[in-house]
Structure 1
């Protein structure tokens, strides 16, 4: 079998380039490389860089074909533990699915909290709702399925797990993720009045910091 190339790039319209990667790790590495080159002034002008699960869209590109030839020739280092700004998210581990996740992991509910907050996550991409970041970093043995029956309303600030991802719901929406905790004040997750409306943006590192209920 012919080995799959590390990435493929093709124009997506007159001024956009779609780059496809074989897995989440290489997508994160390519996105980090774009940000490094943009910060260093060595990336051609690009209006928007939009990562997905296994794609990165570069929009507002003068010559997509020329950029495609460049990026496919890049040597792209793996993402390091120090890449990306750190965002700390306070969380109370009081979610209604905490016991179910504990059963899936084969541990006590308190151990779910301990394991979840011991990891450092990375915002791989955003979607579903404004400010909703898909956080990678859960090891495979901690992946959990979505709920068999989604909830019609998940409250803002719910800290959740589904498949390989963790997330925090920035607003009340329907959802089928496993809810393990609550961010006491979810307001900062999404604020259109800020210059950067979303608190969690692709490339950020995220740490969950447990907090106690007020006395």
Structure 2
């Protein structure tokens, strides 16, 4: 692990892989270091943002480098289950691109074991790893100007659920009524890095 300063208020830890980034993210959150304002994991980094009046950055760097990491970032937490109606506009197109039937596209997507790699693009948007390689398809050449909230989609090696209406070029497989982002909750984002996710087909699935 390499830990270096990132400006006057943060440090950036660089690690070897996504799993280690998740474990470090969980360890920093659990440690309760004074003066930590935010902890932001990336694919191979963890940015720790501080209130410099309450946190010495050089001391924090040393503490991060020696921090014991958990075996699993979410411990024994059950996966987040997201019910999905697989009636998306792009199911047939994904079937054509992959050479699978529409039913096989749905089956393979719903049988995946997903992990939240990181959040980005919009509040609550989790990039989920674990997508069946047979479903790795490119984004649409022309993005939609508006994708409805709750749309379940794939692009490249990732799956995701759109938390709010927004433009987007991912391939739409279905939709869910689960709120991925809700300011009325103590933690607005339903998903967090390292969490496991399962998609559960509901009535109307192919």
TM range (shorter): 0.7 to 0.9
Aligned with 1:47: secondary structure? Answer: strand
Q: Name the counterpart of 2:198.
A: 207
2:89 is the alignment partner of 1:96: yes
TM-score by length of 2: 0.85
**More moved, 27-36 vs 76-85:** 76-85
| Aligned residues: CA RMSD | 2.5
Q: How big is the shift at 1:133?
A: 1.0
Give ranges in structure 2 of 5+ residues lacking alignment: none
Gapped runs of 5+ residues in structure 1?
1-6
Written as runs of structure 1 = structure 2, the 5 A alignment for 1:117-156 is 117-156=110-149
- Separation (CA, whole Å) in 2 of partners of 1:34 and 1:10: 16
Q: CA–CA distance in 1 between the matches of 2:96 and 2:15?
A: 34
- Structure 2 CA distance for aligned equivalents of residues 31 and 206 of structure 1: 15
**Correspondence 1:1-215 to 2 at 5 A:** 7-22=1-16, 26-36=17-27, 38-39=29-30, 41=31, 44-45=33-34, 46-60=36-50, 62-72=55-65, 79=72, 84-183=77-176, 185-186=177-178, 188-213=179-204
1:69 Cα deviation from its structure 2 partner = 3.6
Distance 1:132 1:80, change over 3 A: closer
Aligned 8 A contact 2:2 2:65 in 1: yes
Cα offset, 1:129, TM superposition: 1.2
Residues 100-142 of structure 1: CA deviation (Å, up to 9, x unaligned): 2122322111111111111121111111111111111124443
Point out the more displaced range, 115-124 or 7-16.
7-16
User: How many pairs align?
Assistant: 201
Q: Is the 8 A contact 1:11 1:17 kept in 2?
A: yes
CA distance in 2 between counterparts of 1:104 and 1:82 reads 37
Kept in 2, the 8 Å contact 1:29–1:77? The answer is no
Report the TM-score, using the length of structure 1 for normalisation. 0.81
Quickly say closer, same or farther: Cα 1:76–1:30, change in 2 above 3 A: farther
CA contact (8 A) 2:14 2:46 kept: yes
User: 1:181 offset after TM fit, Å?
Assistant: 0.9
**For each residue in 1:39-67, what CA deviation from the matched residue of structure 2 results, as whole angstroms up to 9, or x when unmatched?**
3x4x6333321112332111116233333
